[in-house]
Amino acid sequence: MKPTVRLWDGVGLGLIIECPSGVVYSNQTGGTSCLRPEMEGVFVPLRNDYEVPSLKLMSPEISFAAYFEGPAHPGTGATGGLSGADADFIDSTLETWHLSSFLSVDRARLRESHEAWVFVRVLGADADQQYSRSITMPSDPFALSVVFGFEPYPRSGVLTWGNSD
């Protein structure tokens, strides 16, 4: 059995990049179904910050939680899989948070995805792109990929966040 990190008490959005790491990540997902899927890989927190002085969380997790707790999936956790409309919402939110340059919902795996466990395609940058980008910063510094060196791309991953149970 491989070492396992349970993300159940985590706050904010994270990405598990699927790769042989020797470490398995698990989260409680799927609303009140309390599923516990697992994936071996590397965990990367994404776009989680807080306002000062209120300490209010600013994260894509807030939008995802509201969506899955709202009329689209009121408490069901979308355990039967995600729809194209769900994927469109998630991709739109990734774009809003400047994550779409290297992440997109894996539409071939919508049936396997559910609340707080969404399969994505990780579109990383190679080392030359990272080097040239660090010399000439784009107008939007958040558009830079935070992952590189995980070739071959695209690579499978999972977006995960706090479950709504």
Tens-digit pLDDT profile for residues 91-125: 999 999 989 988 999 999 999 999 999 999 998 76
Helix (H, G, I), strand (E, B), or coil: what is residue 141? helix
Alpha carbon distance 46, 134 (integer Å): 19
Give pLDDT tens digits for 70-82.
Answer: 888 887 889 999 9
The full set of domain ranges for the chain reads 4-149
What pLDDT sits at residue 142? Answer: 52
The first and second tokens of residue 95, run together, are 């774009």
What number is the average pLDDT over the span 143-155?
77
- What single letter denotes the amino acid at residue 56? K
pTM score? 0.88
